[in-house]
Amino acid sequence: MHFNFDFSSAQILWTLTFAALLVLLVVLLGRDRVRRFPWFTTAMALTALRMLASRLLYHRVSLAFSESLFLSLADLAAIITVLMVIEIARRAFAGAGRRAWIAGTLVLVAVAGTTTALWGPWPSLKTLFATSQLAAFRFMELFAQKADMFGDVLIVLLALLILIFGRQFKAGWHSHAQQLVIGLAMASISQLTIRGILQHVATHVTIHSQNDYKRVMNLMSSLNTANSVIFLAAVVWWIICLWIDEPGASLSADLAEFEARNG
């Protein structure tokens, strides 16, 4: 008997990723992780919402509504990413002094901001601040792209800091803060790598024929697939890590319960 399942690799990856995100949200709620990582939970919920909206609404609503909706969600996601980075940093370096916090924040913001400013072209001010709906969409898209890049660089830098200094601030290998940032760094490095490859292709590759165009499109498809696989792996990593309690968490809960019972 022959079974024919007409599913593309993109559809399979979408289904697996969306299902994994739902499982992750269940773990965050069921294991009481939302209280400690509310912005991370919000970011994952928004990612699932964007995936569902793109599947249900793409080519089914007007172009203007589609652009305004998805660009608004992209801008919101970029802002939440920065808040999520701050949240994880506060958890990982809770014992750091104020001077260390200020110095670390300034260095990370300076490096991430400089990288974002120098990476890729910027539109002219006349184009950026033109008064039209198309110009508004371009501004929203630019904000989402640059804020995404800023957040990705921040995540990679924060991951390096936590891996190097995390153990000194109770953010070692088995801490949820380090485990979360490892998965985030995997996804961010993937995004930055793809951005770099696409920018190189856009500036150095000239399309002379239909075959050249097909090769570029196949490259973009392969990169998107690889990026989806890496993000799926990160979500599975988060599910496993967040399901397991941090070292000493169960002992602390037992002590708290004992103190509550005995006044």
Rounded to whole angstroms, the Cα distance separating 5 from 211 reads: 30
- Residue 260 maps to a domain: no
- In the chain, the number of structural domains is 1
| Alpha-carbon gap, residue 18 to 253, rounded angstroms | 32
Structural domain includes residue 13: yes
Q: For 49-88, b where at least 16 C-beta lie within 10 A, e where not — what string? A: ebeeeeeeeeeeeeeeebbeebbebbbbbbebbbebbebb
Whether 51 is in a domain gets the answer: yes
Angle at 82 between CA 79 and CA 88, to 5 degrees: 140
Q: 247 in a domain, yes or no?
A: no
Query: Is residue 95, in this structure, part of any structural domain at all?
Result: yes
- CA torsion sign, 233 to 45 to 193 to 14? positive
- The per-residue pLDDT for 7 is 58
Residues 119-169 have pLDDT tens digits of 877 777 776 666 777 777 888 888 888 999 999 999 999 999 888 877 777
Evaluate if pTM is beyond 0.85: no
Given a contact cutoff of 8 angstroms between Cβ atoms, the answer to whether 190 and 227 are in contact is: yes
CA angle 239/242/246 to nearest 5° reads: 150
**HSE toward the beta carbon, residue 166, CA cutoff 13 A:** 25
Q: Which of 104, 150, 145, 100 is nearest to 123 (CA)?
A: 145
Residue pair 18/51 in contact by the 8 Å Cβ criterion: yes
- pLDDT for the residue 153: 94
> What is the distance between the alpha carbons of residues 236 and 186, in angstroms, rounded to a whole number?
12
**Strand, coil or helix: what is 188?**
helix
56 inside domain? yes
Q: pLDDT tens track of the chain, all 263 residues? A: 344 445 577 788 889 999 999 999 999 999 889 999 999 999 999 999 999 988 888 777 777 778 888 889 999 999 999 999 999 988 888 777 778 788 888 888 999 999 988 887 777 777 666 677 777 788 888 888 899 999 999 999 999 988 887 777 766 667 888 899 999 999 999 999 988 888 877 777 677 777 767 887 888 888 888 889 999 999 999 999 999 987 755 434 333 333 334 44
Q: Domain range holding 66? A: 9-242
C-alpha distances (whole Å) from 183 to each of 40, 97, 240 are 12, 27, 11
- Of 64, 68, 65, which Cα lies nearest the Cα of 76? 68
